[in-house]
Amino acid sequence: MIEFSTQPESYRHWRLRTEGSVAYLSLNVQEDAGLFPGYKLKLNSYDLGVDIELNDVVQRLRFEHPEVRAVVLTSDREGVFCAGANIQMLGQSSHAHKVNFCKFTNETRNAIEDASQNSGQTYICAINGTAAGGGYEMALAAEHIILVDDGASSVSLPEVPLLAVLPGTGGLTRVVDKRHVRRDHADVFCTLTEGIKGKRAVDWHLVDEVVPRSRLDQVVRDRAEALVATSDRPGDAKGVDLPPLRRDLAEDSMAYDNLSVAIDRPGRVARITVNAPNADQPRDLAGIHAAGAAFWPLALARDLDDAILHLRFNEPDIGTWVLMTGGDAARVMAADASLQEHAGDWLVREITLYLKRVFKRLDVTSRSLVAVIEPGSCFAGFLVELILAADRSYMLDGSIEGDNRPPACLRLSAMSFGPLPMCNGLTRLETRFLDDAARVTAIRGKIDHDLDAAAADDLGLVTFTPDDLDWEDEVRLALEERASFSPDSLTGMEASLRFAGPETLETKIFGRLSAWQNWIFQRSNAVGEQGALKRFGSGIQPKFDNGRV
């Protein structure tokens, strides 16, 4: 089983040191410490375990180090920055693991970019050796790239000529959309196994500057200090420790402090129930900071994030996730109001940004998402995003005989109208009602109203509203129908339907992972016994099916 929760004292591949407002994050991969047996992580190549640590340290920098305003990403290895994803690992991994690995790796890169763009914690990459494939893609996540000019150090994306696959964590998209590399230059670059170095790397916009090795440390310090001066992060604030998550794992269930998961293996369904706070949450800033990681919105975000990743990687056959809630909606709304009231505070900002990233992780997960709104539910405030993220939703109209709980309702807040955008840059409501601003405005007028099934249906917030006579059968039949369809076609359909509207760097990357890379990873040219991934390093040339499809 793959664990995604880790602690700094358990890191084997990354070293973090801070010097005032600047943090230095250095990669030094331990060759014999792969997540699975059967390969060595040579030349600072990485597997999922390396990236789990990177994901963790990026998160901790945001919450535990408010004083850090610039992060330098570099390598502790002489002559090599990072050789990218380990080829032997990819060659022996299942198809599902390869695709999920690429997705998680890219989400980690997105978190780095999000920190630079929204948290005042900007990343610089100092490439002090060879950066190949995923190693260069790691650098691409930074806002400023410095390459040592020593005649040997270079950047490359050699996946096409060497492995018959694509740069799987957004390399192609970031080269042209973020770095603005010309198409013809990008075409040459992505077919050169040896990469590009020196002045040409700058001229082609692959890096921002090249400096002699003797000046590298000083230039990195100068660039970091310049970024420090532009940040609004509080230099004198106290960080929030992120303790280990509490999770009880059984064969068919998981229980966290703030949610539970029940797995129906015959039906291939996971029921994820998010719980409202079990006590009133602090409303003032001092109380929020004192609560720290126990403040419900942050605690929930951590639990839900871990649950999504656990189900993605460890339960690949559970194809449908039913999203449910339970508890006191008033407490949810109070916590939601605190996030809005103190949005300018660095910690509250980080919590909201984290919720945004968790909901995005849900959006791009290759599972059918069904929201179920029943009596006792607490779909209120930012938890309404779970309904809007679902592929379809069912809300009970009225009550169930013998159930003394009040009828199901949902309650909107301003959080659904801006702070939690999807990968397409739109809110989930704007995506649902594409180019219909009047409809979104009308729904905004219902903020803080209790909406029953009829009202939610009239506003277009839910898909179906069965009464108590049809409720159980309609939900059951919907889940059984979903389980009868091809998972492959569902993955393609869902990914195509979830992101209406403008194309962005993120939607292009995840679209490629869901379609192009998904397809390429199954082609014999890449993964067949005579394919490039299998024959890499053997000295034997791969044998390709030359048909263009």
Q: Would 510 be classed as within a structural domain?
A: no
Residue 62's pLDDT is: 98
Q: Would 505 be classed as within a structural domain?
A: no
Q: How many domains does one find in the chain?
A: 2
* Last residue in a domain, options 475, 492, 509: 492
Measured between alpha carbons, how far is 98 from 523 in angstroms, rounded to an integer?
A: 13
State the DSSP code for 438. H
pTM confidence score: 0.97
- Shared domain check, 186 and 266: no
Please check the confidence at residue 406 and state whether its pLDDT lies above 90: no
Chain segment 42-69, per-residue pLDDT in tens: 999 999 999 999 999 999 999 999 999 9
- Shared domain check, 260 and 174: no
The two counts, helices (H) then strands (E), for the chain are 23, 20
Residue of 278, 297, 270 whose CA lies nearest to 413: 297
Residue 401's pLDDT is: 84
Is residue 483 within 8 A of residue 269, CB to CB? The reply is yes
Q: How far apart are the first and last CA of the chain?
A: 37
Q: Would 537 be classed as within a structural domain?
A: no
Query: For a pLDDT cut of 70, what percent of the chain falls above it?
Result: 100
Measured between alpha carbons, how far is 488 from 196 in angstroms, rounded to an integer?
A: 38
Chain segment 128-173, per-residue pLDDT in tens: 999 999 999 999 999 999 999 999 999 999 999 999 998 988 999 9
- Shared domain check, 221 and 270: no
- Shared domain check, 325 and 214: no
Please check the confidence at residue 272 and state whether its pLDDT lies above 90: yes
Residue of 317, 417, 434, 327 whose CA lies nearest to 366: 317
- Shared domain check, 256 and 213: no
Confidence at 405, pLDDT banded by 50, 70, 90: confident
Please check the confidence at residue 441 and state whether its pLDDT lies above 90: yes
- Shared domain check, 265 and 396: yes
Q: Would 509 be classed as within a structural domain?
A: no
Chain segment 484-542, per-residue pLDDT in tens: 999 999 998 999 999 999 999 999 999 888 788 888 888 999 999 999 988 988 889 99
- Shared domain check, 263 and 217: no
Q: CATH no. for residue 323?
A: 3.90.226.10
Domain that holds residue 70: 8-228
Measured between alpha carbons, how far is 355 from 420 in angstroms, rounded to an integer?
A: 7
Residue of 490, 464, 488 whose CA lies nearest to 371: 464
- Shared domain check, 258 and 215: no
**Residue 320, SS3 per DSSP:** strand
Residue of 425, 481, 433 whose CA lies nearest to 459: 433
Beta bridge partners of 250: 253
Measured between alpha carbons, how far is 388 from 385 in angstroms, rounded to an integer?
A: 5
Chain segment 346-365, per-residue pLDDT in tens: 999 999 999 999 999 999 99
Residue 445's pLDDT is: 98
- Shared domain check, 189 and 96: yes
Measured between alpha carbons, how far is 451 from 315 in angstroms, rounded to an integer?
A: 35
Averaged pLDDT score across all residues of the chain: 96
Distant-in-sequence, close-in-space partners of 273: CB < 8 Å, separation ≥ 6: 259, 260, 261, 262, 324, 325, 326
Beta strands in 161-223 (DSSP E): 209-211
Q: Would 433 be classed as within a structural domain?
A: yes
Measured between alpha carbons, how far is 497 from 241 in angstroms, rounded to an integer?
A: 38
Query: Two tokens at 521?
Result: 């990873």
Q: Would 497 be classed as within a structural domain?
A: no
Query: Two tokens at 235?
Result: 């230099």
Measured between alpha carbons, how far is 367 from 363 in angstroms, rounded to an integer?
A: 9
Mean pLDDT calculated for residue range 98-115? 96
Residue 483's pLDDT is: 96
Chain segment 226-264, per-residue pLDDT in tens: 999 999 999 899 999 999 999 999 999 999 999 999 999
Q: Would 344 be classed as within a structural domain?
A: yes
Measured between alpha carbons, how far is 135 from 145 in angstroms, rounded to an integer?
A: 12
Chain segment 333-346, per-residue pLDDT in tens: 999 999 999 999 99
Q: Within 10 Å of residue 14's Cβ, how many Cβ atoms?
A: 19
Residue 514's pLDDT is: 78
- Shared domain check, 146 and 290: no
- Shared domain check, 254 and 147: no
Distant-in-sequence, close-in-space partners of 411: CB < 8 Å, separation ≥ 6: 329, 333, 379, 380, 381, 384, 448, 449, 450, 451
Residue 404's pLDDT is: 87
DSSP code per residue over 343-399: TTSHHHHHHHHHHHHHHHHHHTSSSEEEEEE-TT---BGGGHHHHHHSSEEEE-SS-
Q: Would 443 be classed as within a structural domain?
A: yes
Query: For a pLDDT cut of 90, what percent of the chain falls above it?
Result: 91
- Shared domain check, 293 and 222: no
Residue 32's pLDDT is: 97
Residue of 84, 80, 227 whose CA lies nearest to 148: 80
Chain segment 448-473, per-residue pLDDT in tens: 999 999 999 999 999 999 999 999 99
Confidence at 382, pLDDT banded by 50, 70, 90: very high
Mean pLDDT calculated for residue range 210-224? 97
Residue 52's pLDDT is: 98
Chain segment 311-325, per-residue pLDDT in tens: 999 999 999 999 999
